[in-house]
Amino acid sequence: MTQIQFGLVVPGDALEKSRRLRYMEDVNRLLNSVKGSYHSAWFIDHLQFEDSDVLEGWTALTYLCALHPELQWGNSVLCQSFRNPTLVAKMGATLQFLSGGRFILGIGAGWHEPEYLAYGYNFPAASRRVEELDEALHIIKALWTKGRVTFEGKHYHVTGAWCEPKPNPIPPIMVGAFKPKMLRVAARHADWWNVSSTGIEDYRMYLAEFERACQEVGRDPATVRRSWCGGCACAPTEQEVAQIAHERLQPGEDFVGTPEQLLGQMQPFVELGVDYFMLDCGGFPDLTTVKMLVNEVLPALRCRS
């Protein structure tokens, strides 16, 4: 029987400025509400959306990981362009060591051009960002598993680098991917393949392309865990759902509805092999959504799978 697991997407962007002083109180209350039911917690990796409050993803992740040792922790997903891959390997190994093995490396090629330019990063074409991610994953995996590493790539160069102590166990690598070139990167490197805010019909198309990518690189697609990440709003009645859902949640792309409606939305993904749902808490700091997920949706999904 498939073991369905949930992860919590911790709010980290578009935060209410009026609640800055209560943010940690609100987030700790949220995290405490899912312990014992959820497997993990996740933090985004963005730098800005205009003048909204946005927290830096790695700093927030490591701080919260230390405060909440009952959970696995990862970023959904790190923007590869923001950090040298050798440094990412060292950071990941360090967090794995200090946390007792609770780190999951979630990583992608980046997409939000305004934040790149505002923070002084070049924003290369998508094809180059994908190439850079592919090289970065080669480097990270080598540093985590080999001794002295030298790598000469098109975009990155590493000369005699050590990464000690090695992470133990090796963190799972989750790659967020939709398009064909990225799906091939996921097929080559990922332990988990992740999509975000994707409806079931689009997911079927992505899955078919992902399985073709696996065939091309000689990978059994069954060896890659399938996860879904995105928005969620849940309440006992449709009227209450409407009150807590906001403009960022899109029915058909995110999970929005009563517990029974969410079960109907999630079940087709489960039937296609998704066994990990990383969901935010629509309506936060109100906790109605996670209460419904913990008490009704997750137990029912596990019974059905």
Using CA atoms, how far residue 168 sits from 5, 59, 78, 134, 238, in Å, is 23, 21, 21, 23, 46
Give the whole-number percent of the chain exceeding pLDDT 90.
93
CA pair distance 266, 45, nearest whole angstrom: 25
In angstroms, rounded to a whole number, what is the distance separating the alpha carbons of residues 89 and 144?
A: 7
Alpha carbon 80 to its chain centroid, in Å, reads 13
Q: Which amino acid is present at 96? A: Q
CA 112 distance to own-chain centroid: 16
- For 224-257, b/e burial (b = at least 16 CB within 10 A) is bbbbbbbbbbbbeeeebbeebbeeebeeeebbbb
pLDDT-derived band of residue 247, with 50, 70 and 90 as boundaries?
Answer: low
Q: Average pLDDT over the chain, rounded to whole?
A: 96
Q: How many CB atoms lie within 10 A of CB 114?
A: 12
Q: Reply yes or no on whether the pLDDT at 262 is more than 60.
A: yes
Q: Are 288 and 240 in contact (CB under 8 A)?
A: yes
Q: What angle do CA 12, 13, 16 make, to 5 degrees?
A: 100
Which single residue is written with the structure tokens 């490396």?
Answer: 105
pLDDT level of residue 302 (50, 70, 90 thresholds): confident
Give 146-201 pLDDT, tens digit per residue.
999 999 999 999 999 999 999 999 999 999 999 999 999 999 999 999 999 999 99
* Whole-number pLDDT of residue 251: 67
Residue 31 CA to residue 64 CA, distance in Å, equals: 9
Q: What are phi and psi of 70, to 5 degrees?
A: -80, -10
Residue 223: closest CA among 194, 195, 193: 193
Q: How confident is the model at residue 304 (pLDDT cuts 50, 70, 90)?
A: confident
Instruction: Show the domains of the chain with their CATH numbers.
Output: 5-304 (3.20.20.30)
User: Hey, what amino acid is at 127?
Assistant: S
Cα–Cα dist 71/34, whole Å: 9
How many residues are given for the chain?
305
Alpha carbons 144 and 165: distance in angstroms, whole number: 9
Q: Where are the alpha helices (DSSP H) in 100-190?
A: 113-118, 126-145, 180-189
Is residue 65 within 8 A of residue 105, CB to CB? The reply is no
Tokens of 49: 């959306």
Distance CA 41, CA 281 (A): 12
Looking up tokens 């059905």 gives: 304
pLDDT at 146: 98
